Structure 1
Amino acid sequence: MATPTASKHAPTQVVATPPVSTPFSASNHHPAFSPHGPRSVVPSPQQFKKSPANSNTLYGYPSGSGGGHPTTSSFGGYDSPSAALALGGVPGLAELGLDGMSAPGMGGLGGPGRGDEDDRKRRLQQVLEILKTNKGRLSEAGIERLARRVGLDCVWEDHMGSGGSTRTLIIAGSALALDIDFSNNVVKKVSLSFPESAEIVTRHTQKAGDILLRDLQFGPNESPLTKMLDRFAANLERLATLDKLSVIPGLNCHEAIAGIYESLERLHKWEVARLKEQDNMADKDDEYIGRTAMCKRSGKPIMHTRDRLGLSIDYWQERHQIKSKSLSRDKEKTWALLIECASLPALVYTPIRVSEKWISPEILKADPAAEDLLLTAEDGPVLDWLQPENTMLPSTEPPKADAMEGIDQASGQKFPEVMFIAKFDPPLIVPYGVAMQIYGSVNAPLDMYQTSTFDGLMFPPGPEDKSEPGEARMIKQQTTVSVFDENGEKSTKIHKNTLFIDKIDYGRTLTELPFSHPRQLVEMLPRLRQYAFLSTLLRNSFNPEKAIPEEEKKSPGKTKMDKFAEFMSPASAEEISTLPLDVSLTTQPLSLKLVFPFKDRTANVRFDINLNGAVDVKEQNLLDEDAMDDGKRLTVADLGRMLEIAEDLGIWAEFVRRRLG
């Protein structure tokens, strides 16, 4: 075997010489994997693995660059891919952030240290988080993969029948079972069950199964290549989360949420019955009375609604006061609190309790104390809320001296490491002071370092917004308003709306909130409705997505003579019919001041938006209160009532101009 020697005129260089027994050693033979090589003789994988790759070849093929210079090698100047990988020299890995994958102990030869490994793990974790957002497409393998990803077990069963072969995917957890029947990769049936659960849980399984079936059915213009599993994945993840948090036997999170529904449903039915006894509800149908109880009383609990599994407490709906059979209530925007469970981070929050007796069967407290009367809203009933017993689990840990660790020293049991949470759907924007009150009512800490203005959250500034954060803002929007005359003929009016925000206030977006008792949620609903109505009113009058900048864009290319000609020309019919509306927003107290042309003067009206979205007119110069002796004339209360129904400042202004003009 040749021995490397040093040249007299060149620096010493070590050259690796391949063994004689390898197919690369013979110069008169073609490479073993070359198309020109012998096809009957192929080296074994062991022989090929032991043979070092020449710097001029890649698995027997030329590298493409030719020559034997190390810098032109396919492995970045290394004799073999293993050496290149060990020394971190494989091209392309640097772009992926995965270079330097050396063997242990190679850190001194260019391998990464501990910090590089942590950074690479962090990048890989980021890639996995991105991949988690893709739930996959509808197929047998896709649903099974999704179920295993959320931590549920899967078993397949094959069936033969007159209609052909079918397969059933059984998805099981500790407290649930989901059967999905397939026929040629098409979902035919979905069955959801909760073994060993109470009747308050199992009575809602059919409704939940129908939602899951709709999630897995092909809609119009959908195919296995386009049907995604996003909706089904969201519902399955909710089921899996409750299943993981459950400790069977002892704690069933499905039963805990169903218990809250039972208590609030009794309260809702009682409130509906009381509304029917009122004189102003004598001519109203049951649907209208139910919406009134939802938007003025304690909300409406619903299990499995709007294609979403779980408990929803609806507390506000757009146009809920309009009595029209042509309206589709399912399409109207609804505000709700979604009741779920989450892991208990610490004993700062009250652990979950499983009960359906959160309120007494009589609903009203027979003998309310003075404290109860003070905490109850004006003219409101004193509800008889109950405090269920704590739910305890057997503790497998040794006794601890500190009772705050969740261990009951007397019984040797522990509190569940689970709590209730309410998610705002949609998220609700409120001033910072209101957010502090809401968080304080559930004894939850509020992050004081998140500073955003209320108007900045309600109307996010666009790229053309020139105002600085914290400065007064002016938002303009041109809208088209439908107007009906006395004969019912429809026409349109153009409004140029301007919103002035002079006094800046900080705000917060409510997304989720821990709670321990449904009473806490019911008591905050009047305040939530106040800002749900405000957001509806501002969105209808000033669409944030279509808001124009404060300074109107000037038409380019116009000369002074063109501008003078426009000034001297008579106004067009469109300009004459355009109505300017100026609105000023104040958050403390929550009020809107509206100014617009009316008859031969300027109308000036101030609305206060109170709890439950009630509108009170504090200032106005439209009506002469001293001359209101005719019962057919509008009153100040009618002006506020009309804004509650219209939910649009432009529609309200046109109503007043037609009625009082």
Structure 2
Amino acid sequence: MATPTPSTNTPQKHLPAFSSPAPRSVPGTGTIPVNFDSPAALGIAFEGGVGMGISMSGMGMSQLGLSASAMGRADEEERRRRLESVIATLKSRPGRVGEEGIIELCKKEGLEVVREPQGSNGVMLTILIGSETLCEIPVRNGEIESVKLELASDRDAIGFGPSGSKILLNSLRPLPAMTKINLTLERFSHNLDKLLRMDKLSAPENGGVSCYTAIFGVYTSLRKLFEHEKKMALAVMEANTPYASQKAEREVLCKKSGRPRINAGSLGLSLEYWMDRRHLISKKAKPHQPPDKGKDKMDIDSEPTDPNPSDQNSDPETNKIYSLTIECEASQSSMYPPIRLSDSWISDAIEKAPDVADSDINNILLNRSNIDWLDPPPTYLKSPQESGHDAMNLDNDPGRLPNIRFIAKFNPPLVVPLSVADTLNRSLALEELPNVQPTTFVGLALRPGDPDPGLEGIVGASTQELRSQKTVLVIDRNGNEAQRVHTNSLYIPKPEWSRTIEALPFHHPRQLVEILPTLRQYAFLTSVLQDSFAGPSIPDIKATETSSKDGVVEREGEGVGRESVVQLDISLSYTPPNPRLTLHIPRPDFSKSSFTSSALLDSLLGNNPPKPPIHVAIDVCPNADLLVADGNVEKDGEIDVDGKRIVRALEVCGDLGVWGEWVRREVGGGTPIDLHAATSVKLGSK
């Protein structure tokens, strides 16, 4: 941001004395124009101003940074302090993308940059990031042409350099809907900091243990496990199953050991453990084929086989991914087990034989994989002669362990009950949770911008209720698509104290794989509730009810015309071990006889009493396996106790509104909903 140039013809202006302590606003604008003739005024603009004015509404003098001296003429010390504050703010921000900006950023980070001219209008910038990493950036006519990242410990099977180069190049290019003039080095700086942090931990003065080699070893073992489980998933599929590779990968991602990836969206190793709506696979350039007669509407995956199956281009809007980013951080080896350099965290056989003495009997009974984990030997620091470090530094004496540990960072951070967070900590041999605060799931995951009910002290006084409105695609009685408004209410009778997990240290990849089932529980629960209740509520439409039938209220309102509204009530029991969602929704009746006068008379006389509203209670079990715990959903005149189709429908669409309408059609016998189409329209309308 360029510093405004003071006007040479405008005399110095001083703020007048106010008769009231509260600042006044210019009528019609709500701002007071600020002249930039003094560093004090310029400092005010940087602290709270917008454009060429400062919003004064509801602000006091102290909030604007105005002291008593500033109300008249600020003394030299005050003016110098403000000017230094402005300069420090400007220096802390990364510059703009370009040759000069990159060189200045590297100097600020203490990195060596070699500049070599390339022809008349080109230059090659070579950035030396410690002793392991090299980054080359050719610039021609002020434009970044490409990025080449090289890593000394890289391997062909890892491919860290080529994939990392793409990430760095993308961070130097504008995002969609962003103009080049607003492009800064902020994203590039973030990636550069990550590379620099890894190199500093691996430096000879810290023992010379390569963090990249340690992480690549973990990736090698996790990838071996992933490929084995993917092969097993493919083996149980029928021949010619369409999109078999994507389905097998997603099955391992969401139900097994997760999917490890290098440089998937951000630099480093990530273990993906959950994907929203994994059954919805994006079909690109597929020919339209009408469904066969009698084909189950729930079978949404029966499409032509992809000639080149790949799951790297899943739709981020539909298939949001939850992952753990595996990095290294400084930690005393005497307090927590340090990193180890090894590719052998798991045996070549992958699974133990059933007759092995130490096989887990629970895995055998539940037909689960019994992974044959290995325990690599410790990695010790090199001798002073080998590493070249100061022999007087006792922290790095040979025979000592490195002061570095593995850490898994949650992307995105995950909200779990406090008791679950404590269990996860104890499973990783961590101390008790520090700084425990009375925060709730609502305050952390659904309405983070609002005051947390727990911190406000209003939890327990009454049942918490959140409201929202969403538009859902439905099928009317004639089989035509229509849109319906859902008025959603979320009730939480007994709030559970909760906590946001952002990172967890670990010393063996086995520990991460073992906690994935629990993480998936709360990733799924958070996702479906955020879709319906996160963010500000949609204002109620002022309307007049005109009629009500089939559990749908028809209403008219100014500027909205005529619309149908359904009240969807959801209760949440967040208490471990299995949180429960209970849906209450009006029961429809699509039969023609229900609208006859005789049917109405029977209902009034009690011969044919109206049925109660639909309710379905779903338990979210480990691995996000869904179980119908209770309900009155009927199928062919009988209560559907098994509920397999009910949970399958929720797994497919991952949307409570679409799922609720599907349940109503199942009960009422109306035209079945195409969950794939309904979910796509729902997501596209956001």
TM-score of the superposition, structure 1-length normalised? 0.71
Equivalent pair of 1:281/1:289 in contact (CA under 8 Å):
no
What is the CA–CA distance in structure 1 between the aligned matches of 2:167 and 2:420, rounded to whole Å? 36
What is the CA–CA distance in structure 1 between the aligned matches of 2:500 and 2:192, rounded to whole Å? 27
Structure with higher RCO (Cα < 8 A, 6+ apart): 2
Distance 1:150 1:350, change over 3 A: farther
Q: Does 2:169 match 1:185?
A: no
Residue of structure 1 equivalent to 2:599:
none
Any idea what the Cα deviations from partners look like across 1:92-151, whole Å, max 9, x if unmatched? 42366589xxxxxxxxxxxxxxxxxxxxxxx97x995x5676222112121122223334
Q: Does 2:566 match 1:579?
A: yes
Distance 1:256 1:200, change over 3 A: farther
- The secondary structure found in structure 2 opposite 1:94 is helix
TM-superposed deviation, 1:369: 3.5
What is the CA–CA distance in structure 2 between the aligned matches of 1:352 and 1:535, rounded to whole Å? 32
Please tell me the residue identity of whatever aligns with 2:314: R
TM-superposed deviation, 1:271: 0.4
Q: Does 2:219 match 1:261?
A: yes
- The secondary structure found in structure 1 opposite 2:652 is helix
Residue of structure 2 equivalent to 1:301:
260
Could you tell which deviates more after superposition, 274-283 or 474-483?
Answer: 274-283
Q: Does 2:340 match 1:359?
A: no
Residue of structure 2 equivalent to 1:147:
106
What is the CA–CA distance in structure 2 between the aligned matches of 1:364 and 1:156, rounded to whole Å? 53
TM-superposed deviation, 1:416: 1.0
Residues 199-348 of structure 1 aligned to structure 2 (within 5 Å):
199=155, 203-217=159-173, 225-247=181-203, 250-279=208-237, 283-284=241-242, 285-306=244-265, 308-325=266-283, 329-331=314-316, 332-345=319-332, 347-348=334-335
1:388 to 367, 376, 383: 376
Equivalent pair of 2:158/2:216 in contact (CA under 8 Å):
no
Query: Which residues of structure 2 form unaligned runs of 5+?
Result: 1-72, 286-312, 385-389, 557-562, 589-609, 669-686
Any idea what the Cα deviations from partners look like across 1:343-401, whole Å, max 9, x if unmatched? 1146221111111111111101235435733588932111011111111113658799x
Please tell me the residue identity of whatever aligns with 2:101: G
Distance 1:227 1:398, change over 3 A: closer
Equivalent pair of 2:484/2:564 in contact (CA under 8 Å):
yes
What is the CA–CA distance in structure 2 between the aligned matches of 1:318 and 1:463, rounded to whole Å? 26
- The secondary structure found in structure 2 opposite 1:233 is helix
2:422 to 436, 454, 458: 436
Residue of structure 2 equivalent to 1:70:
none
Could you tell which deviates more after superposition, 359-368 or 617-626?
Answer: 617-626
Equivalent pair of 1:193/1:205 in contact (CA under 8 Å):
yes
Distance 1:407 1:215, change over 3 A: closer
- The secondary structure found in structure 2 opposite 1:255 is helix
- The secondary structure found in structure 1 opposite 2:189 is helix
Any idea what the Cα deviations from partners look like across 1:387-445, whole Å, max 9, x if unmatched? 11111113658799xxxx9778xxx4221111111100000000001101111111122
TM-superposed deviation, 1:617: 0.4
Please tell me the residue identity of whatever aligns with 2:444: L
Aligned positions, number: 519
TM-superposed deviation, 1:322: 1.8
Please tell me the residue identity of whatever aligns with 1:388: P
Please tell me the residue identity of whatever aligns with 1:642: A
What is the CA–CA distance in structure 1 between the aligned matches of 2:320 and 2:115, rounded to whole Å? 40
- The secondary structure found in structure 2 opposite 1:447 is coil
Please tell me the residue identity of whatever aligns with 1:511: E
Equivalent pair of 1:354/1:391 in contact (CA under 8 Å):
yes
What is the CA–CA distance in structure 1 between the aligned matches of 2:366 and 2:87, rounded to whole Å? 55
Query: Which residues of structure 1 form unaligned runs of 5+?
Result: 1-88, 100-122, 556-562
1:650 to 657, 664, 671: 657
- The secondary structure found in structure 2 opposite 1:528 is helix
Please tell me the residue identity of whatever aligns with 1:523: E
TM-superposed deviation, 1:341: 0.9
TM-superposed deviation, 1:214: 2.3
Residue of structure 1 equivalent to 2:528:
537
Residues 582-597 of structure 1 aligned to structure 2 (within 5 Å):
582-588=569-575, 589-597=578-586
Residue of structure 1 equivalent to 2:77:
93
Distance 1:570 1:516, change over 3 A: closer
What is the CA–CA distance in structure 2 between the aligned matches of 1:621 and 1:222, rounded to whole Å? 51
Residue of structure 2 equivalent to 1:547:
537
Any idea what the Cα deviations from partners look like across 1:27-63, whole Å, max 9, x if unmatched? xxxxxxxxxxxxxxxxxxxxxxxxxxxxxxxxxxxxx
Could you tell which deviates more after superposition, 326-335 or 412-421?
Answer: 326-335
Distance 1:201 1:413, change over 3 A: farther
Distance 1:414 1:247, change over 3 A: farther
Distance 1:201 1:254, change over 3 A: farther
Please tell me the residue identity of whatever aligns with 1:547: S
Any idea what the Cα deviations from partners look like across 1:186-224, whole Å, max 9, x if unmatched? 2223221123x2526863311211221222245677666
Residue of structure 1 equivalent to 2:63:
none
Equivalent pair of 2:172/2:185 in contact (CA under 8 Å):
yes
Equivalent pair of 1:368/1:382 in contact (CA under 8 Å):
no
Equivalent pair of 2:151/2:160 in contact (CA under 8 Å):
no
TM-superposed deviation, 1:582: 1.1
Residue of structure 2 equivalent to 1:524:
515
What is the CA–CA distance in structure 2 between the aligned matches of 1:477 and 1:246, rounded to whole Å? 50
Please tell me the residue identity of whatever aligns with 1:515: F
TM-superposed deviation, 1:486: 9.0
- The secondary structure found in structure 1 opposite 2:257 is coil
- The secondary structure found in structure 2 opposite 1:573 is strand
TM-superposed deviation, 1:159: 3.2
TM-superposed deviation, 1:493: 1.2
- The secondary structure found in structure 1 opposite 2:131 is coil
- The secondary structure found in structure 1 opposite 2:148 is strand
What is the CA–CA distance in structure 2 between the aligned matches of 1:386 and 1:267, rounded to whole Å? 13
What is the CA–CA distance in structure 2 between the aligned matches of 1:653 and 1:220, rounded to whole Å? 35
Equivalent pair of 1:200/1:259 in contact (CA under 8 Å):
no
What is the CA–CA distance in structure 2 between the aligned matches of 1:655 and 1:614, rounded to whole Å? 20
Q: Does 2:409 match 1:452?
A: no
Residues 457-606 of structure 1 aligned to structure 2 (within 5 Å):
457-460=444-447, 468-471=457-460, 472-484=463-475, 489-542=480-533, 544-547=534-537, 573-574=554-555, 577-588=564-575, 589-599=578-588, 600-601=610-611, 602-606=613-617
Please tell me the residue identity of whatever aligns with 1:369: A
- The secondary structure found in structure 2 opposite 1:443 is coil
Distance 1:618 1:174, change over 3 A: same
2:357 to 351, 369, 379: 369
What is the CA–CA distance in structure 2 between the aligned matches of 1:369 and 1:384, rounded to whole Å? 12
What is the CA–CA distance in structure 2 between the aligned matches of 1:625 and 1:579, rounded to whole Å? 24
Identity of aligned residues (%): 34
Equivalent pair of 2:322/2:523 in contact (CA under 8 Å):
yes
Equivalent pair of 2:113/2:125 in contact (CA under 8 Å):
no
What is the CA–CA distance in structure 2 between the aligned matches of 1:495 and 1:283, rounded to whole Å? 37
Please tell me the residue identity of whatever aligns with 1:288: K
What is the CA–CA distance in structure 2 between the aligned matches of 1:530 and 1:275, rounded to whole Å? 21
Distance 1:370 1:497, change over 3 A: same
Please tell me the residue identity of whatever aligns with 1:504: P
TM-superposed deviation, 1:484: 3.7
Distance 1:344 1:154, change over 3 A: same
Any idea what the Cα deviations from partners look like across 1:539-561, whole Å, max 9, x if unmatched? 1222x212369xx79x7xxxxxx
